[in-house]
Structures are given as structure tokens and as C-alpha cells.
Amino acid sequence: MAFSSILGQDKTIKRLRSLVETGRVPPAMIFHGPPGVGKFPAALEFAAALNCTRVPFTEAAPAAAAPEEPADGLFFAGPESKAPAPAPAAAARPPEGPAPAPAGDSCGLCRSCLQAKSGAHPDIRVVDTLFQAALLDEDESANLKVDTVRELTRWAQQKPMLSDWKIFVIRDAEALVPQAQNALLKTLEAPPPNTVIVLTTSKKNSLLATILSHSFPVEFAPLPRAVVAGLLTDRGADPAEALKLAALSRGSMEKAAEAGGLMLRLAKLRPGDPSRAFKFAAGLPKDSHLAREEVKTLLELALGRIRAAWRAAEPPAKNKFTALLRRTLELRRMADRNVSYYQLLEVALLESERAGLKLEDLLDTAAAEANG
């Protein structure tokens, strides 16, 4: 917990902390930047910091909705937690004024922080496709619908239940269908008091211009490569592999995970198998959005590989790579249209292999290029 858990976004976090500190919080904010750089966890930390009371929660306080594991918060969240005291001892401590937390951050010890940590804070709500599926009692869909926004609007009109602020975090807000965006706009234009709506998105331009103009922008940058490598190692990756994936990640943990999946699939290909490109393309994700993202990543990698081969080649071999480069660029453009990603990838891979560029080398060359 606390903003210190968000790595590689120092400038942005400083800005968020100063908003919390001054209490001058815009009613609508848009956290935008590449996927997998900490926008959503930062939105949750921001919500926790806004509602933090800095009064350590004790058993003596009303405990009707106490989270299941307050001890976790007591042990790990603040400087005092270093002593391995059992929860009852900590709870018996008399209320002692503000807990030591950096200005504009959450303390991790108050009732609000504990509820935020357990995900059960009544005034901090996450709106995403998973939440929508539960709300509307249907399968998870790729879009956020107008009915979901209407529910949010209804809540926004109510008073906070526990804290000073009601915070709604709309995760991956680009999933809002236009009708839902229009419904949201009404709330953004006349925000209820003490309500903050945070939209997180890696596709800011998918949102209506009117939504953007009513939202305070907070930009998240790609993560430094060392941060990505560190996070991957923390999650159990081998250090050498973490460095390679970090080089391929373009500062995004999501891209790093995607590259990791691709490496695994590439490792399974048998050398000399004539249907390798076919088999590899068949492993694309079923979800068309994910498939498109993966195909675009692969085409970027292929382009890097082809450019390197082109630079190293002498005429007449150079001409072969010039033609392949042109063709792959064309396929890359097509990937933004509604095409069969599976076929598109297969064609690209077959043509690269025909020019003597092996599939297995795609990631290695890209990593080498990114490092160089």
C-alpha cells in the first residue's frame, strides 16, 4: 500500500500527492499512458490517500465492517509495523494522533485505509467489465454499457458512507461505448460534491472529446527499463530473461508479459518444421483485441529484424530485404483494420522465413536492438 508501491512514476505521484495534500481535487480525472505502467494501482492509492483519516484503527472503534485481515495492514503498511507484535497488542494501543505517513499519502492503519486495502471500502468503487458482469448478472463483455454508467451515476448522487470522498475508478475507460460516455458526461458536467471519477486508459483517443475536456489529465510515462526488469525478477523471472523482456517491453509490464508469452511459444517450435509459421499463428489469443495487439507486437519485432538484415546486407541481397520491408510495413498498416489477424501474421511470418529470417531470432534480435 501507499504511493511508494508505484514504481517509476515519481513525477506523477508527486503531483497526485500534492492534490491530496491541498484537498483541491478535480471531480474528474483521466490517468492515461501505456498499458501496464501502474495507472490503475495508482488510482487505488490515490483513492486510499484521499480518504485516509490517519487515526489508527483500534478494536475500541466501531468494527461493524472490519476487514478480514487487519493484522496484514498493521504489519506491512507503516513504520510502526516493523515490530512483530500480534494484532491484539497493536489494537490495544491507545489512539495516539496522526499516524506517521508522508504528506498526501495513505497511512495504511486507519479504518478507511484497511477497508481500501481489502477492496471493501464502501466509498471507493471500481467500475470495470468484471464488475459490470456481476452488476448486470451476465457474462463479462468487452464493453462498458450505459446501464453500468447509470448505476454509477445513481451512486454518485448519494452521500459517502464512511469517508469524506466518494471515488469511482473506471478501469480501461476506452471500453465505454459512446452511449455510456454520453451518460457519464452528464455527471462530469455537474459533478456531485465530494465525488471524484478517475478514468484510467491506455487509449485516450477512444474517448469523446467532451469527456477529455471535462477531465483533469494525469500522464503516466513508460517505465524505466530497470524498473520493468526489477518487477519481473520480483515476480520470479530469471534475471537474464527479465533483462531481455524488459528490453522488449517498451516500458510496459503488459508488453513484457506479452513478450514472455511469445518467447515461450517460439521456444516450442521445432527447427525445420515446414508448418512452423502456421502453428505459431494458430497460437494467437482467441480474443480479437488481444490477437490484434499481439500481431502488432510481432510485426514490430519482424520490422526490427528486417531493418537489421537490410542494414547488414549488400546488393543484390539488399533488394530482397527492401521488398520484404515494404511488404511488412503494408501488413503492419493492415493490422489496424478489421482483418483476419491470424492470416495476416501467417503471411508475414512465411514471407520473413522465405527471406531467410528465422522465427526464433525475432525476439533475440529485437532484444539486441533495444539494448544497443
Q: Footprint of Zn ion on this chain (CB under 5 A)?
A: 52, 106-107, 110, 113
Q: Which H helix or E strand runs over 187?
A: helix 178-189
- Closest approach of Zn ion to the CB of residue 52, in Å: 3
* Bridge-based pairing state of the strands 124-127 and 216-219: unpaired
Rounded to whole angstroms, the Cα distance separating 272 from 293 reads 28
- Closest approach of Zn ion to the CB of residue 74, in Å: 12
Q: How far is CA 129 from CA 172, 184, 351, in A?
A: 9, 16, 38
- Closest approach of Zn ion to the CB of residue 61, in Å: 13
CB-side neighbour CA atoms (13 Å) of 287? 7
- The values of phi and psi at residue 144, to 5°, are -100, 125
Rounded to whole angstroms, the Cα distance separating 140 from 134 reads 8
Q: How far is CA 340 from CA 211, 275, 296, 371, in A?
A: 32, 19, 13, 33
Residue 96 vs 138, nearer CB to Zn ion: 96
Q: Which H helix or E strand runs over 45?
A: helix 39-51
Residue 51 vs 148, nearer CB to Zn ion: 51
- Closest approach of Zn ion to the CB of residue 3, in Å: 12
Residue 20 vs 227, nearer CB to Zn ion: 20
- Closest approach of Zn ion to the CB of residue 92, in Å: 19
Residue 110 vs 363, nearer CB to Zn ion: 110
- Closest approach of Zn ion to the CB of residue 188, in Å: 28
Residue 61 vs 334, nearer CB to Zn ion: 61
Q: Which H helix or E strand runs over 166?
A: strand 166-170
Rounded to whole angstroms, the Cα distance separating 250 from 143 reads 27
- Closest approach of Zn ion to the CB of residue 108, in Å: 6
345 SS3 class: helix
* Count of positions (residues) in the chain: 372
